[in-house]
Structure 1
Amino acid sequence: MSRRRFLSWSAAGVGVGLGLNACGSSPSATSSDSSGTTGSQEFAGQQLRVFIYSGSTEKFFRDSFVPAFQAKTGATVIPDPGWWDSIPKLKASPPGQPAFDLVLTDATQGYPAIREGLFQTIDMDRIPNKEKFTPSVLDNWVYREGYGITFPGSGMVLAYNDDLIDFTPTDWGDLMRDEVTGKLGMYNSFYMSLYTFACMKVAWEGRPGTAAREMTDNLSEVLEFAKVQRDRVQYWWPTSTDMVLNLDRSNSAIGNMHSNGMITAMRESPKLKSIVPKEDIAFVQTMWVIPADTPQKALAEEAIDFLLSEEMQRAAAENGAPTPILSVAQEVAARDEAWTQVYPATAEEIQKIQYYPYDAYFQDWDSIVATWDRQVLRKG
Structure 2
Amino acid sequence: MPAGPDRVAETSECESESPSENERARPATSRRRVLSATAAGSATALAGCTELLSSGGDPLRVSVWSGNYADRFEESVVSRYEDEFDATVEIQRGWNDILTNIQTAPDGDPPYDVTITEGNFYYLGRQDDLFHEIRTENVPNVNELIDYYAEFRPTKYGLPVDGAPCTIIHREDMGFEPDSWADLSSAAVQESNGVGVDTGFWWYPMYAAAVGMDDAPLGEEMHDAARHDDVLETVRNWPIESWASSGEDIWQAFQNDVIDVAQWYYEQTAYDIEDYDGLTHTMPEETTGYLNHWCVVKGTDKRDQAEEFINFLMDAEVQTAWSAEMPTLFCNENTEYAGDLAADLPSNSEEAKRIAFPDWEFLAEYSDDLSDEFTEIQRSS
1:34 Cα offset (Å): 5.2
Choose which of 256, 261, 273 in structure 1 pairs with 2:268. Answer: 261
Decide whether aligned partners of structure 1 residues 245 and 346 sit closer, same or farther in structure 2, where only a CA change above 3 A counts: farther
User: What does 1:1-380 align with in structure 2 at a 5 Å threshold?
Assistant: 15=2, 33=43, 40-43=50-53, 44-47=55-58, 48-143=60-155, 146-164=156-174, 166-181=175-190, 183-188=194-199, 189-202=201-214, 207=215, 210-217=217-224, 218-226=226-234, 228-230=236-238, 232-269=239-276, 271-279=278-286, 281-320=287-326, 321-330=328-337, 332=338, 336-337=339-340, 339-340=341-342, 342-345=344-347, 348-350=350-352, 352-374=354-376, 376-379=377-380
* AA in 1 matched with 2:378: L
1:41 Cα offset (Å): 0.7
Paired with 1:156 and 1:238, the residues of 2 have a C-alpha distance of 15
Paired with 1:225 and 1:328, the residues of 2 have a C-alpha distance of 40
Contact 2:197–2:205 (CA under 8 A) maintained in structure 1: yes
* AA in 2 matched with 1:364: Y
1:152 Cα offset (Å): 3.8
Secondary structure of 1:81's aligned partner: strand
Contact 1:171–1:278 (CA under 8 A) maintained in structure 2: yes
Which residue number corresponds to residue 26 of structure 1?
Answer: none
Paired with 1:308 and 1:329, the residues of 2 have a C-alpha distance of 13
TM-score, normalised on structure 1? 0.79
Decide whether aligned partners of structure 1 residues 371 and 310 sit closer, same or farther in structure 2, where only a CA change above 3 A counts: same
Contact 2:247–2:268 (CA under 8 A) maintained in structure 1: yes
1:163 Cα offset (Å): 0.8
Paired with 1:265 and 1:296, the residues of 2 have a C-alpha distance of 36
* AA in 2 matched with 1:221: D
Contact 2:160–2:331 (CA under 8 A) maintained in structure 1: no
Decide whether aligned partners of structure 1 residues 17 and 284 sit closer, same or farther in structure 2, where only a CA change above 3 A counts: farther
Paired with 2:336 and 2:379, the residues of 1 have a C-alpha distance of 40
Residue by residue over 1:132-166, the C-alpha shift from the partner in whole angstroms, topping out at 9 and shown as x without a partner, is: 221222223431xx1110244221112211212x2
Paired with 2:252 and 2:135, the residues of 1 have a C-alpha distance of 45
1:323 Cα offset (Å): 1.8
Paired with 2:169 and 2:354, the residues of 1 have a C-alpha distance of 20
TM-score, normalised on structure 2? 0.78
Identity, in percent, stands at 20
Residue by residue over 1:38-74, the C-alpha shift from the partner in whole angstroms, topping out at 9 and shown as x without a partner, is: 7641123243222222233333443343343334434
* AA in 2 matched with 1:171: S
1:257 Cα offset (Å): 1.4
* AA in 1 matched with 2:136: M
1:173 Cα offset (Å): 1.6
Question: What is the alpha-carbon root mean square deviation over aligned residues?
Answer: 2.9
Paired with 2:73 and 2:235, the residues of 1 have a C-alpha distance of 40
Paired with 1:227 and 1:355, the residues of 2 have a C-alpha distance of 18
Q: Which has the higher helix share?
A: 1
Decide whether aligned partners of structure 1 residues 194 and 304 sit closer, same or farther in structure 2, where only a CA change above 3 A counts: same
* AA in 2 matched with 1:220: H
Matched positions, count: 338
* AA in 2 matched with 1:52: V
Decide whether aligned partners of structure 1 residues 172 and 68 sit closer, same or farther in structure 2, where only a CA change above 3 A counts: closer
Secondary structure of 1:180's aligned partner: helix
Which residue number corresponds to residue 20 of structure 2?
Answer: none
1:354 Cα offset (Å): 4.8
Paired with 2:252 and 2:332, the residues of 1 have a C-alpha distance of 32
* AA in 2 matched with 1:267: E
Which residue number corresponds to residue 32 of structure 2?
Answer: none
Paired with 2:4 and 2:138, the residues of 1 have a C-alpha distance of 29
Paired with 1:288 and 1:154, the residues of 2 have a C-alpha distance of 15
Secondary structure of 1:129's aligned partner: helix
Structure 1 gaps of 5+ residues are 1-13, 19-31
Secondary structure of 1:120's aligned partner: coil
Contact 2:133–2:158 (CA under 8 A) maintained in structure 1: yes
Decide whether aligned partners of structure 1 residues 139 and 347 sit closer, same or farther in structure 2, where only a CA change above 3 A counts: closer
Paired with 2:134 and 2:324, the residues of 1 have a C-alpha distance of 28
Contact 2:123–2:361 (CA under 8 A) maintained in structure 1: no
Secondary structure of 1:186's aligned partner: strand
Decide whether aligned partners of structure 1 residues 327 and 353 sit closer, same or farther in structure 2, where only a CA change above 3 A counts: farther
